A = this chain, B = another copy of it.
Amino acid sequence: MTKTLSSAVEDYLKTIYNLREESHGTEGRGEGGITTQAVAARLGVAAPSATAMIKKLAGLKLARHTPYRGVELSAKGEKVALEVIRHHRLSEAFLTKVLGVEWDKAHEEAEKWEHVLSEEVEARMAALLGDPTHDPHGSPIPTLDGQVARDSGRPLAEIEAGTRVVVRRVSDEDAPLLRHLQKVGLVPGAEVEVLRAVPAEGVIQLRIGKQRHIVGLAPAAAVIVEKSEVMSDE
């Protein structure tokens, strides 16, 4: 019944899930769901490859496909996607916390680990880490039964000047970007004040901790923050 799925299938499911999450601020979605080209671009494959795989996923009842309209995961597909994402994020946490791998390298390593973790090893990793709820980049780790903490927050790039915020999570896709963010201190938990936005230059001025930094809008869009008026429980 639980036939083993190929890594390729797992990668597509994960990608479609992630794109759906991200696109709640619209982009890359038709009404049917996620765009073929968005999937292809994220995975670095040609569009026809994505079409072919999407049709395969539909055949496996892991997704629904409306030709020319987009793709959407079925409940079954979402379940598999969440398992893969759990493996990925647990691996990232394990790689950084236990093995001391750098932040920016953990993602690509986890990209490989996520496909080879048995349920048993996954459970042991989780236990060893104390059942973490978030990975090192601040993304929530789905639970065994598929629950995902849905964090609120907005991209740092959209915050009005004069606001004080705290960093919740950063995108883990881009290693050079990640190194930059780490260097300036834009890591989960950091306290930040938006001093001034300079749209003409495409940059914003920030106070990060006690330091002042100027960062571009692109990196700032990859940083999800939350207002820090109320001293929250963290």
| Residues in chain A within 8 A of chain B (CB atoms) | 95, 98-101, 105, 109, 112-113, 115-116, 118, 120-121, 124-125, 128
Whether B98 pairs with A121 at a CB distance below 8 angstroms is no
A101 → chain B closest CB, angstroms:
7
Whether B109 pairs with A95 at a CB distance below 8 angstroms is no
Whether B105 pairs with A120 at a CB distance below 8 angstroms is yes
Bound Cα distance A100, B101 (Å): 21
A80 → chain B closest CB, angstroms:
18
Can you list 15 A-B contacts (CB < 8 A)? A95-B121, A98-B98, A98-B128, A99-B121, A99-B124, A99-B125, A99-B128, A100-B124, A101-B120, A101-B121, A101-B124, A109-B121, A112-B116, A113-B116, A115-B116
Work out how many copies of this chain go into the complex. Answer: 2
**Nearest CB to that of A108 among chain B residues?**
B118
A118 → chain B closest CB, angstroms:
6
Bound Cα distance A108, B125 (Å): 17
Taking each of A95, A98, A125, which has the highest tally of chain B beta carbons within 10 Å of its own beta carbon? A98
**Nearest CB to that of A125 among chain B residues?**
B99
**Nearest CB to that of A123 among chain B residues?**
B99
Bound Cα distance A159, B62 (Å): 57
A8 → chain B closest CB, angstroms:
14
Q: Which residues of B contact A112 (CB under 8 A)?
A: 116
Q: Which residues of B contact A128 (CB under 8 A)?
A: 98-99
Taking each of A109, A112, A121, which has the highest tally of chain B beta carbons within 10 Å of its own beta carbon? A121
Bound Cα distance A124, B99 (Å): 6
**Nearest CB to that of A95 among chain B residues?**
B121
Q: Which residues of B contact A109 (CB under 8 A)?
A: 118, 121
